[in-house]
Structure 1
């Protein structure tokens, strides 16, 4: 903890615009500092008061007995700007600006005020949080520099979770949900407009705190990539899960693109790829942000995703199995030894297959959970357990059930979640430290997140997450290559391209076909001004040698009719793939190089089936991405079709990723559709061929 430490444990705090009313924005921070045991000096600043909430008040910053380390600015408009400027002049280290009406409105005056405050801070090195900030809260030191009402609704308690958010509401709501679940929160920071200190910068600071074991983030945009990457590096090194919820779009978002890749590699898709590469789990709702928090705080690391389900209800067994299938989690296949042990432990009419229904016999034999769970724990094919108790109460020995489950979790080392809808029964298990959800669907969904996230972190930990290098591509003009140049470029960077000949007249067509070894060919008009040629009539497939001259002549005429630059006509070998895939890349204005792979063909935008990767990545990363495609279900060969060479596709993707990282190649946008996938072990090697190419370079 270093660069921003003074915000977390300041020696002194001034509240500019301090109020005697502890429920007002200028009054709450004073109240919270007192209630949470802050030990530093507190200086209320208000020219209308001599005493505020039992503290001596001062008419101005200049009247303070010493320069405060941090100042809270709770006045608005031009007065806020003047106070921030004066803070900088006096040597205040940091300002938390709670006032709104600045850049978030889009108003030119608000933007000008922001620039004025930033300029003043830059002259002295003062750091600014906000404006439009709800404030910062560090409960370990009592430095609660915030006006959030949730701190009165849910009593603060220091803990192992940090919440950092650009939004005040999306800081308060997770805080409230965590405290409602009895989970302590160490940091609750709502940063606002982020004109200086960003949410990602604060996240990088707090995740280094040795007491933090879970970080929850809400980001309106992802612009401070360097800080966010530093969050990931520190979190992975410490084993701290990071869960992020993102809303909004950055100013540099998706723009019209010449290629399918540009259209499909949307900003949201790139965000997903960035977070996944860095081991950060992306939540889709506020509830998802906190749902697995208790699991994350368990002192263990899961090793797989195979579930065992146990319940005293057959219906819950079925529903939990359905929930597991929806989440893509496999049920563990129990060994013969395990099934034999279960047969010995359970009534004769109970099932010994997974899911395991211990039946209503639990009412008369309270030892059943204690007998069944250890057997599952000894089965090396079980990675986690779901235990459902939909009905219990009078006549059931719930305390024994809870003791047996807690003992099993402690001794087996396996993650355990419970589905218990009765709140009084659930409380018995929670009192033993067991993670309990209201139903089996919630339980399985949270468990799936927990298991998958740890796998994501393990994969990210195996990569070298180096800081990004500067790249000049955004500042330069674009130059589109024609298709012949694009295919040659692909071959140079290691993406196999179809063999072709560029001709300038119909008379050259027969010789070109002879060079290609004869047979039917593909003929295309070639112009850097036409990226999608099929709809212009510039593509003919399966042309015979005797028709080639006529088709070339037609292509030249079409180029002229459409007013396109005539850069020749491509005569290419006809390649028929088992499947049509797609490979592409673009240089994102925020994230840098992005590689896309997916299903190809004419419907790629109408029926998208794509995965995004941020280079550098490995062939295994590419294979894993291919495995997530819907197309992957048919790539191993179905209905007599041969399997395709996925390794060749992955190798081509890695080669493209490496090329995208080379600033001298200056690729801005690239699209290969289709990339023909050829049979595994066939005559053509490598068993992929790019038969169409759109390449745009920055020059």
Structure 2
């Protein structure tokens, strides 16, 4: 654990400023929790109105304490909270949790107070969680510096999961969902406005906890991606899956986040790319954060995504098969030997294919699940098993079902999940440590997440994960290079561009056409006119001297009339592609170089079939992403068309990403559309580059 945060997560002493004798008040909860949870350190209630609180001596002020506490929990609000932080800074307190709200999330005056609080703290080396924080809870050592009601509603149990969240309510919700599944939780931390300590920093700290095996995060903003990247690297090295919700996908959601914790939203597709780059699986909501935990914690590494469904209902078999297909999960083709063995175990009217319907005979033969599971588990085509039980209860030997499922889970080496909506049934399986879900759709979604996340981690392990650049300050306002200058910089970087020549006279244009020896395009080149077609500055399929001269004369006159600087005209080979693609890149102030690849042409903004990655990215990583696009089936050729050279497109895109990454912010954006893709390669036909100072 980083030393700077040890005072927050493992303090030797805690002062509660604004302490209360009432355990149902914010100032009373942390004291109650720490005494209940076996905290071994010293607790100092601070309240000038009381001599004792909850059986402990109370002190009138921080100055009256017999020692300087490592951690202070600040419950008082407004100016009193700022003064408490100042007192902590003066006395050398290591860390403070500011629970009070009404700061950065509440407007300009609150933001001013928050900034002053942070300035005071940083000058003294004091770390702050909050303000507007529900607090931190470490059930491994009883340091419960939180007022969450959920710890009363659902009793804590130490366990292998850490929850780190900007939102206290979301942290409590995820804690409750996990505990309702019987899963123990060690860390439940909420950063609030995170004016100082961030989710990323706490994630890095708990990733070092040797007993943690799953890390769940809720983020509203991401200001320190380098720290989260480091946390993800520690987690990958230790085999800890990291799952995250990053809220604010929509504009409305981003505005809500800003009013909630004072957060500013990040560009969402860049967030997607960042999380994927570091092996963090992104989900949409708090329920999805907790859903897959039972599967992760078993440590299963399924070989693939081939599923076997076993149920005592034919309808459930069919519906589960439909849901699996929607998720891209394949139904395992059971071998003839497996089906023959199933035939020996099941009634003659039962289905022995996949899905496997054991029928209502389960009511009279409680051993059917135990007979079937080992047989399907031995089939090499089976990667995971869903046991779907829509009907059980009175008359069914559910205890035996659970024992048989638990035996399979412990010995087969393949994931199994149970779907059972009846709590009396589900609780028996949970008590047997078998992953259990209310609905088959939830179980299958968890299977999808487990297998896809494992594949993502394998992909990441094969890549060189570059450090995040962080924020870069650019000296001057951005400006657009002409097409000729843009193509020149691309060519210098090894990006294949269409054969072309910049011509400053009609004679040079004619000579260029003769050199190319094919129909050409003639395009005016001016940094002031990036979009040429709408001004009549593009002439296509020119193949005579008169056409070349006319195009040159017309376009240069138009630029003169527009009072736009004229570099000349570009004479370029007319190039057609079997597919028009696009490659773009831009510099993000948080994530650095962001790469965009996908379907192109004039409908690019309407079709929106593109993928986003952080650069630099390898051609292999880019191809994996491109193969997930809607246009992917067309890339291998349809209706007699040849397969396209996808590798060439991905190499081209990788070079563009490298160019922007190496420029370190000097190149603001690159827009290449179209990039002509054929069976023989890929080439840039049109491109523009926006740059900052120094160009």
Query: Is the TM value for this pair above 0.5?
Result: yes
Distance 2:164 2:640 in 1: 54
Partner of 2:622: 622
Q: Is 1:584 paired with 2:588?
A: no
Question: Residues 581 and 677 of structure 2 are in contact (CA less than 8 Å); yes or no, is this contact kept in structure 1?
Answer: yes
Distance 1:627 1:336 in 2: 33
Distance 2:457 2:656 in 1: 25
Q: How does 1:498-537 map to 2 (within 5 A)?
A: 498-517=498-517, 519-537=518-536
Q: Is 1:462 paired with 2:456?
A: no
Partner of 1:245: 245
Out of 691, 695, 698, which is 2:685 matched to? 691
Task: For residues 535-578 of structure 1, give each alpha carbon's deviation from its aligned partner in whole angstroms, at most 9, with x where no partner exists.
Answer: 33322332332422222222223333444322211111111100
Distance 1:551 1:344 in 2: 82
Q: How does 1:73-472 map to 2 (within 5 A)?
A: 73-107=74-108, 109-248=109-248, 267-469=267-469, 472=472
Unmatched 5+ stretches in structure 2: 255-264
Partner of 1:261: none
Question: Residues 51 and 57 of structure 1 are in contact (CA less than 8 Å); yes or no, is this contact kept in structure 2?
Answer: yes
Task: For residues 272-313 of structure 1, give each alpha carbon's deviation from its aligned partner in whole angstroms, at most 9, with x where no partner exists.
Answer: 010011010111011111111111111332332111112122
Q: How does 1:574-613 map to 2 (within 5 A)?
A: 574-613=574-613
Q: How does 1:21-100 map to 2 (within 5 A)?
A: 21-100=22-101
Question: Residues 471 and 663 of structure 1 are in contact (CA less than 8 Å); yes or no, is this contact kept in structure 2?
Answer: no
Distance 2:471 2:35 in 1: 49
Cα offset, 1:472, TM superposition:
4.5
Task: For residues 233-262 of structure 1, give each alpha carbon's deviation from its aligned partner in whole angstroms, at most 9, with x where no partner exists.
Answer: 1100011111111123899x99xxxxxxxx
Question: Residues 134 and 147 of structure 1 are in contact (CA less than 8 Å); yes or no, is this contact kept in structure 2?
Answer: yes
Partner of 1:659: 659
Task: For residues 389-442 of structure 1, give each alpha carbon's deviation from its aligned partner in whole angstroms, at most 9, with x where no partner exists.
Answer: 111234433333222222122211101111112221222222211111122111
How has the CA–CA distance of structure 1 residues 478 and 225 changed in structure 2, closer, same or farther, with 3 Å as cutoff?
Answer: same
Partner of 2:539: 540
Cα offset, 1:469, TM superposition:
4.6
Alignment RMSD (CA, Å): 2.2
How has the CA–CA distance of structure 1 residues 536 and 316 changed in structure 2, closer, same or farther, with 3 Å as cutoff?
Answer: farther
How has the CA–CA distance of structure 1 residues 562 and 330 changed in structure 2, closer, same or farther, with 3 Å as cutoff?
Answer: farther
Secondary structure (helix, strand or coil) at the match of 2:606 reads coil
How has the CA–CA distance of structure 1 residues 186 and 650 changed in structure 2, closer, same or farther, with 3 Å as cutoff?
Answer: same
Secondary structure (helix, strand or coil) at the match of 1:644 reads coil
Cα offset, 1:24, TM superposition:
1.4
Question: Residues 182 and 430 of structure 2 are in contact (CA less than 8 Å); yes or no, is this contact kept in structure 1?
Answer: no
Partner of 1:6: 7
Partner of 2:487: 487
Cα offset, 1:625, TM superposition:
0.7
Cα offset, 1:464, TM superposition:
3.2
Task: For residues 320-349 of structure 1, give each alpha carbon's deviation from its aligned partner in whole angstroms, at most 9, with x where no partner exists.
Answer: 111111111122222333233333333343
Secondary structure (helix, strand or coil) at the match of 1:677 reads strand
Cα offset, 1:476, TM superposition:
4.4
Cα offset, 1:664, TM superposition:
6.9
Aligned residues: 680
Partner of 2:549: 549
Distance 1:650 1:634 in 2: 16
Cα offset, 1:456, TM superposition:
1.3
Secondary structure (helix, strand or coil) at the match of 1:661 reads helix
Distance 2:452 2:665 in 1: 36
Secondary structure (helix, strand or coil) at the match of 2:381 reads coil
Distance 1:481 1:266 in 2: 27
